[in-house]
Structure 1
Amino acid sequence: MNNITTPGQVITDLKLSSNKDSGEKKISKKEENVSSTSDITNILLLGETGVGKSTFINAFANYLTFNTLEEAQRNEPVVLMPVSFLMTTGDNFEEHIVKFGDIDDSNNEDFDHPGQSVTQHCKAYVFYLNGTDQQKLRIIDTPGFGDTRGIEQDDLNMEHILEYVNNLSHLNAICFLLKPNASRLNISFRSCITQLFSLLDQNALNNIIFCFTNSRSTFYTPGDTAPLLKKMLISLSIGNVPFKKENTFCFDSESFRYLVALQNGIEFNGNERQEYEMSWSTSVTQSNRLIDYIGRNIDIYRIDNNLQSIKHAQYEINHMIRPMLETMRNILRNLILYKMNSSRTSIELHPRVLDHPITICLSCKGKIIEIGNFLVTYDVSHKIEKKCCSCQCPYNQHRSIGYLLEYKLLNKPSIYDRNQMNDMLYELCHASAEFSYFLYHVAHSSNEDQLMSGLLRMIQQEADICENQKTNHKNSELVKALNELKCIYEEQINEMKSMKELNKLSYIYQRIKHISEYPMVREQMVASKQGQKMMMKESEYEVPKSLPNTFVH
């Protein structure tokens, strides 16, 4: 019995350990594989629900591919994503539902609920410019704002967009798509810009451009939307947003719709054809001017290099929550093994990134595996399409994760001694309380303490193992140790109220940097970000280079 460490002994060491210099071995930051800013142009496309972003992207791809409508008719249209629209023809206004692409095979588009954003998630489309893979253009389609499901859905959509942007290396342009002659601007437009610049700083203001679709009726000008837009931009508190001829581009997607309608066997008269030929020619000119403006007049806005904002810090901390919690749990495992096995064995964490998106269910119990006489819950990936294909639990009980954790039993002690492990545990617990305070009181990101929720989930996992599995007392000791850790975390949360440093962004970034240098945390963070990029890649469509005149510019 003398070799058994009780939770109280482990946690007592933790309470007494206040030495911030834990002797933790540092690792240099690994360079992540990101696309060079010189070989790809990133355009973020934003707009109100129903403005026609998906149609615009399809049209834009065809305008860059075919210089004339006649040339487009001789070839198959470029299909980036399915679209569906109503068109009337003839003296009796005959209605035709025109479909372009495979509507039934699109998981990212929802055509069944008018007023709701058709695009469900951010999806990128990569074009090759000048027929070479040395120059690429990536347009990022986003869920529309002004969703009929309400402000809460708009906020969820915007949060998804910001998380996507945060994982990019850079932005070349932020494009707002509008219709001319609007009688008013949706209030969600203001919210969209304000939230975007809670992540980005004022240096990105010059990367904003405005595109108007369906502008043939206003002689290819912004029409009555212009004064409304000017008034709204002036009233913003984010800085001077440029809105002038140089960064404004007027298109007409009707000529593209005409092309698609022809493919659907709909007939038009000669006068209509002449109008659409002129529309196509004008849109081709505007497309080329837009590419020129971005390439020559706008500086690249870096996201992965020294960007600091409250929203950015929030996302960095969100990436750290699971790595920190899992590291603390594994330190407790090794502290228990340290005493019980006289330092003969230890457990290592090995994050593994899969080649496909990973989703876990918070309600389903994972697979139980045995590692060094510990029973460990191994997360099982669930397949998600429009609903979970692996279980019947509600969609909101599922979470995307960037990596799966694997465990390795070593027939040797941990590289850290008992004091070092206790110091790391103290640092991680203290930083968890700091980050939780920042997320709730400064970033106002959630009404839920995500670190506490994660800690409670770990406790529940271990308690389920003890209740349902034939186990030795190691998992029971771990449950007690985690509960003691929870109590200490709660005490530290209460102490955070007197720490004025937590309101300083520079201090938070110092703490993020310090905790990120712990190898067990760092390796999981690298895996998490690689997993995020993998998920982004999965939602990206690359236009084949074999297309005729592939975006010759």
Structure 2
Amino acid sequence: MASGELFRPALGQAAQLGALYDARSDTFVSQPRSLFKQWPPADAVDIRLCRSTDVRTVEVRTFKERCAQLEVDVELGGSILAGLVPVGGCARYLASPNTIRGAHTSLRYNVTTVDERLSLATPGIREQFAFDTLQTDIATHVVIGVRWGANYIVCPNSPGDTGCDKTPEALAIQQLGQILSRPTPGWLEEPAVTPEEQYGFSWSELSVFGDLLSENMPASDNARFQTSRGFIKGLHQRISTTNDAKGTPIQYTLLPLAFLGYFQLLNIRTNLTVHPSNPDSLERFMQHFDDAQTASATLQRYVSRCQRYPIAVPSNHIRDVGKQLQAFIAANKALRVALGRVLRELRSTGVDPDRLGKLLGDFHARETPSFEIRSLAKFTAKMDFVKGILDEGAQYVGFKGRRLDSLLAQNRHDDVYILYFTDAVRRNSEIWADTRNLFSELLKNDHRPKMVVAVDCDALGQSLEKPYICHRRHDRVFVEDLLEHRKVLAVNCVMQYNAGSLDATLTSKPLQRRAVRIPCPHFSCDGTLPCNWICATCQSPVEYGYVDEQLYCECGATPFDCWTFKCNDPTHGSTWASYDKQVLHGQLKDLEPFEDLNILILGETGVGKSTWINAFVNYLTYDSLDDAIQAGRLECLIPCSFSTQLKDPNNPRGRFVQKDIKMGKSQFENDGARGQSATQCTAVYGVTIGKTRVRLIDTPGIGDTRGLEQDNRNMADILKVLRSYDKLHGILVLLKPNAARLTVMFRFCIKQLLTQLHRNAANNIVFGFTNTRGSNYTPGDTFKPLEALLAEYKQVQMGLFEHNVYCFDSESFRYLAARQKGIDMGLVEDNTRSWSRSVSESKRLLKHIRGLTPHQVRSTINLNETRDMIVKLTEPMALIAQKIQTSIAVNNDQVRMLNNAELSRSQLEKSLYVQRETVESYEVGDPRTVCTHGDCVEVRNDFAGRDETVVVYKTMCHRPCYLGGQVKRNQKGDPKLKDCQAMYSNGFCSGCSHNYLDHMHIYYDYRPLTYRHENKDVSKELIKHASDIELQQEAIRLRETAIAEFKVEHAQVQEAAIQFGFFLKRHAIEPYNDATIEYVDHLIQQEKLKVKSGGKKQTLSILEKYKAEHLQKVEALTRAMARGDIDIVLDDQGARQLVDSLYGLPHFGKDLQKIVQVNEMAADAVFREKSCNVSAGQHWGRKERPRNRPRSVRGQPDKPSSSPAVPSPATTGQVTAPRGDAAGPVNQPRGEWDTYVRGAAAKALGYFTSKWR
């Protein structure tokens, strides 16, 4: 081989000897086409027969490896990538979409027939040149050799991503290679093929790229390749019948034109130097385009699949991915053009050889990288899951298609199993695999007809902590979490009730309940070993109602003899055992009662009450942080949320990122993550310490983020729950340790708490400080302001002492919660000490509370019921007082008229009556949706000649409204009003155009009445016998008597207000919340700032009006207290007797009572206790009974259990909040500030309250 010769594969391009070639663009020159005028001289061409075949089977992954299969070097490969070189024949393999998707097995079959060589040393050859001088750089090389034959490439139609050498297609290609490699009887004759090899594989799965295949035919010419023999025969025939059996050019030998100048065959007057490119840079380009093509192909297939599964993928995701894909393809197309341009320039000039690297670097810095494009295909695994469950027969509720309610409405089966999941929990949840397997099991099990549904909560806009399968039976939830239910059944002693015997409507449980701790009745179990039993359905402890002989769990109440039992002893097996009724009755009667310890937990919103309860339960369970970590289980009774900041390990500058940690879910709770108060209503959590049932009464925070009105609703809700209990053993007031000053909110919260408590409760109040690690486990800066505030209550001698101050630190619980989520917050030693300190304080707290004389809840309930009664009387008393004054004025006018006017006898006869003005409250029947906006209400004068007004709702937006009990009564802006038929989907009313927040449901209203009292018998007798003067005097006497009686009743109403004020002063720790003005001033300042920023003045005006009315009430109450000190002291009974005396007023008592009866909704006791499946660990000193064989007693493990917690749906390691009424008191607020104004009209009423009940 002569020095400087270049061998270049033909790649489907046809050229003859003498053809001119430009190595800078790797293309043949079109004009002039050849070095010769016509054809090279025959005597200058050497033709040599060189018949051979070559078979090469390799595994190919990259473009570079595909080039190597066709003997294309890096330089030429770069030109192909840049689009400089058109490819044809077998080289179509380099550009086929099927070959750029990933790894595959590739077979190259090369047939060589003839070599042709041009000899430039032949005499006279120069005269045959088309020119003797080359003055332009149009070409750099000339073809001096052509090798003939044919090349074929065989590869799979659909290459895989990895492990391609074991696929059926790869094995077929390897077998074909073996056949082609066998010796044949003659040139291009068929090798021996066995019958198995003849039909051993399907050609429809293979693609063939060949030099002698038609360019217009598809890459896989499969119709003609039905068998191996047919394939080989077809290839050989094409060669034998083409170009006199030479085939087609498969390789060219190129000689630099500069050599002709050296040999003086051609006069070269231009620079023909070709500068090679940097091979490393070209290989990086090859790798880039490999990645880009793979990413594009992957994403194109992904988008196509998304369009086939719209139920699984948000439509906006498909659009966004499509746009990004098109932009990515366009950017890479532009990069190919730029690469071609730079290659030509570099090869021509050699200037700045690093330009290729710069070009690629700039592209990577500017455009989206391939790995990010591939990452857009984030729903691939989800679509695999959806396809799988659809193939198995499941229904699917997602972004398109049917909704869950319509599926349930059309269900004809008793049982429905619903998988709730999100893509996040599908990818990240540790229990996803178990949940998926259980779901498949349900689909495959056809033992009982059922509907099986998967609900994509992403499509519903809902987030989940974990996936779960809900079992519904007869349109009711039967098992909330089937997987956890099965786990509980596997490791606990469980009881199962007869579904037909369950009473799920109960609203309370008897206080005298005893935990069912009896032996298992199964014949193989130890009849002397008591077990702790839980319900198989709700997993809560089963308790025996000693007074009514019912068994209670969170499902409801059931007769004691309607249960079967299955303990966790391995010898028990899978059968359920039952007791003899009399034996079971005796066992239950012998149960020992629990000692109760009821602890009310109060505090400001955000102080961490719910977190403290969660932490306390874990302190109860685990003696140390190490024990809790080893158990791998977090007890979470209440939803809990917090954030922590960590350094981003992927950021070189150590940027901090925020991690949100959420645990738990309940209909009564928020997680507090967005500034909303976490606890939404009072809830009771019962945990067991030995033989003591500790009830932790969690309450909504004072200073609720929803406003002052919600604070009062919350306090009423607390009292409703407390009615279920006789005693309060402790009242824990939680505080933060860093309140250095008596802030408005601090004072408001403490005084609001004390307002609600009877004086007798003072000894039971203890103070707990949260997160005290930073204050060295002391009250910290809060001590001084709290001490100063408590010093104001000299009569109850409240203070801060060792016995009533407890310093906790919940940071160790947060550390454990974060660790459960895979987040390491560090400082493990500090958290270990924090845990130990908090366990110690928890034990000290319970020991102290056990030693206190319990506070009789009835005292506080009576106080607040009386206060509530006073509050309910306030508005009616104000209205009645106003009407008494009106009645007095009307009758005085009539007396003056009788004295001064000359009336006829007929007129005198008609004046023998007394006129009484009053008001009544009336129910409006079906609730009406009315608008309270200023534009939709009107103040009317309904009494001729009297300056008396009533508020009239002009706009009845929906009458009647059929939402009924879903909407809270007389409360403005209830969220359920958005569902009212009058509301558009955007929350605005179709009738008045105001927002739903300005609307409310009214159930009652007021209307004025006028009565004329007349004794007809007396009047008839007078008319018959009396003179005109006597008639006039009798009419005057009637009115003067009535006026006197009216004044007496008015004075009695005023006196009652004063006595009520004194009652509150005498019996409450704090008679009224005198910090309210500070709080309202604080709100007014905030509103003023809003007004300065362009906000509306409406709220500011309401607050200022509210403040003025409040000051009037405080003034009246102060006067009432000052006077009450010298009068007879009212007790609870006296207050009630005073109310009865008001109802007994001769003229206005019945009216007052009727108004209260219509307005009032009974504040019944609400039972909201949850018996949690949590018990103290052995570090609390519980003594366990020795056992003769292993059997776990649920809730009393011998060591910290490592079994998973029993969460409710969408939770991790939690027990759901208790069932019961929704948050808020039964008697709903009026919902408008002008309601307060109406109530404030009674200036004689001394009691201030900020909410009507």
TM range (shorter): 0.5 to 0.7
The structure 1 residue matched to 2:683, chosen from 124, 135, 140, is 124
The CA deviation string for residues 366-402 of structure 1, in whole angstroms up to 9 with x for no partner, is 999xxxxxxxx9993115795446525846866899x
Q: Residues 520-531 of structure 1 correspond to what in structure 2 (within 5 A)?
A: 528-530=1162-1164
SS at match of 1:545: strand
Q: Which residue in the other structure is 1:289 paired with?
A: 844
SS at match of 2:966: coil
Q: Does 2:509 match 1:509?
A: no
The CA deviation string for residues 338-372 of structure 1, in whole angstroms up to 9 with x for no partner, is xxxxxxxxxxxxxxxxxxxxx9777489999xxxx
Q: Residues 60-459 of structure 1 correspond to what in structure 2 (within 5 A)?
A: 60-73=616-629, 74-89=631-646, 92=654, 94-102=656-664, 106=667, 108-109=669-670, 111=672, 113-114=674-675, 118-119=677-678, 121-130=680-689, 135-145=693-703, 153=707, 155-167=708-720, 168-169=722-723, 170-236=727-793, 239-268=796-825, 272-296=827-851, 298-305=852-859, 309=863, 312-317=865-870, 363=930, 380-382=964-966, 387-388=976-977, 390-391=979-980, 392=983, 394=996, 434=1053, 438=1057, 442=1061
Give unpaired runs (5+ residues) of structure 1.
Answer: 1-31, 325-358, 369-376, 402-429, 446-496
Change (3 A) 1:130 1:162: same
> How far apart in 1 are the matches of 2:1143 and 2:963?
23
> How far apart in 2 are the matches of 1:223 and 1:307?
34
TM-superposed CA distance for 1:260, in Å, is 0.7
The CA deviation string for residues 509-548 of structure 1, in whole angstroms up to 9 with x for no partner, is 2144679999999999998243xx23xx3xx462532668
SS at match of 2:965: coil
Q: Could you state the TM-score of these two structures normalised by the residue count of structure 2?
A: 0.27
Q: Residues 9-20 of structure 1 correspond to what in structure 2 (within 5 A)?
A: none
Q: Give, as a single letter, the amino acid of the residue that structure 2 aligns with 1:94.
A: F
Conserved? CA contact 1:210–1:248, under 8 Å = yes
Task: Answer with 1 or 2: which has the greater Rg.
Answer: 2
TM-superposed CA distance for 1:265, in Å, is 0.7
> How far apart in 2 are the matches of 1:439 and 1:366?
42
> How far apart in 2 are the matches of 1:83 and 1:52?
9
> How far apart in 2 are the matches of 1:294 and 1:399?
45
Change (3 A) 1:541 1:95: farther
SS at match of 2:661: strand
TM-superposed CA distance for 1:207, in Å, is 1.4
Q: Which residue in the other structure is 1:48 paired with?
A: 604
> How far apart in 1 are the matches of 2:600 and 2:1170?
16
Change (3 A) 1:396 1:198: farther
Q: Give, as a single letter, the amino acid of the residue that structure 2 aligns with 1:122.
A: C
The CA deviation string for residues 274-308 of structure 1, in whole angstroms up to 9 with x for no partner, is 22112111111111111111111x22222325865
Q: Does 2:1098 match 1:545?
A: no
Change (3 A) 1:139 1:306: closer
Conserved? CA contact 2:597–2:728, under 8 Å = yes
Conserved? CA contact 2:728–2:856, under 8 Å = yes
SS at match of 2:753: helix
Conserved? CA contact 1:173–1:208, under 8 Å = yes
> How far apart in 1 are the matches of 2:611 and 2:598?
19
Conserved? CA contact 2:682–2:718, under 8 Å = no
Change (3 A) 1:525 1:285: farther
Change (3 A) 1:99 1:113: closer
Count of aligned pairs between the two proteins: 385
* Higher deviation after alignment, 284-293 or 511-520: 511-520
> How far apart in 2 are the matches of 1:527 and 1:315?
12
Conserved? CA contact 1:172–1:300, under 8 Å = yes
Q: Give, as a single letter, the amino acid of the residue that structure 2 aligns with 1:381.
A: G
Change (3 A) 1:264 1:440: farther
Q: Give, as a single letter, the amino acid of the residue that structure 2 aligns with 1:509.
A: R
Conserved? CA contact 1:82–1:99, under 8 Å = no
TM-superposed CA distance for 1:210, in Å, is 0.9
Q: Give, as a single letter, the amino acid of the residue that structure 1 aligns with 2:616.
A: F
Q: Which residue in the other structure is 1:18 paired with?
A: none
Conserved? CA contact 1:129–1:550, under 8 Å = no
TM-superposed CA distance for 1:60, in Å, is 1.4
Q: Give, as a single letter, the amino acid of the residue that structure 1 aligns with 2:965.
A: S
TM-superposed CA distance for 1:157, in Å, is 4.0
| Structure with a larger share of its residues in helix | 1
> How far apart in 2 are the matches of 1:398 and 1:40?
42
> How far apart in 2 are the matches of 1:367 and 1:436?
42
Q: Residues 461-472 of structure 1 correspond to what in structure 2 (within 5 A)?
A: none
Conserved? CA contact 1:208–1:242, under 8 Å = no
Change (3 A) 1:514 1:99: farther
Q: Which residue in the other structure is 1:371 paired with?
A: none
Change (3 A) 1:188 1:262: same
TM-superposed CA distance for 1:124, in Å, is 1.6
Change (3 A) 1:322 1:223: closer
TM-superposed CA distance for 1:41, in Å, is 3.2
SS at match of 2:627: helix
Q: Which residue in the other structure is 1:421 paired with?
A: none
Change (3 A) 1:148 1:321: closer
Q: Give, as a single letter, the amino acid of the residue that structure 2 aligns with 1:542.
A: K
SS at match of 1:41: strand
- Aligned-residue sequence identity (percent) comes to 27
TM-superposed CA distance for 1:240, in Å, is 1.7
SS at match of 1:98: strand
The CA deviation string for residues 405-437 of structure 1, in whole angstroms up to 9 with x for no partner, is xxxxxxxxxxxxxxxxxxxxxxxxx89x95997
> How far apart in 2 are the matches of 1:378 and 1:439?
43
- Larger relative contact order (C-alpha < 8 A, sep ≥ 6)? 1
The CA deviation string for residues 314-354 of structure 1, in whole angstroms up to 9 with x for no partner, is 31356789999xxxxxxxxxxxxxxxxxxxxxxxxxxxxxx
The CA deviation string for residues 214-267 of structure 1, in whole angstroms up to 9 with x for no partner, is 111222111232223212221346632131111111111110010011011113
Change (3 A) 1:386 1:209: farther
Give unpaired runs (5+ residues) of structure 2.
Answer: 1-507, 514-593, 878-925, 931-955, 969-973, 984-994, 1004-1048, 1065-1070, 1073-1119, 1145-1149, 1183-1253
TM-superposed CA distance for 1:189, in Å, is 2.8
> How far apart in 2 are the matches of 1:215 and 1:547?
26
Change (3 A) 1:119 1:278: same
Conserved? CA contact 1:98–1:264, under 8 Å = no
Q: Give, as a single letter, the amino acid of the residue that structure 2 aligns with 1:528.
A: A
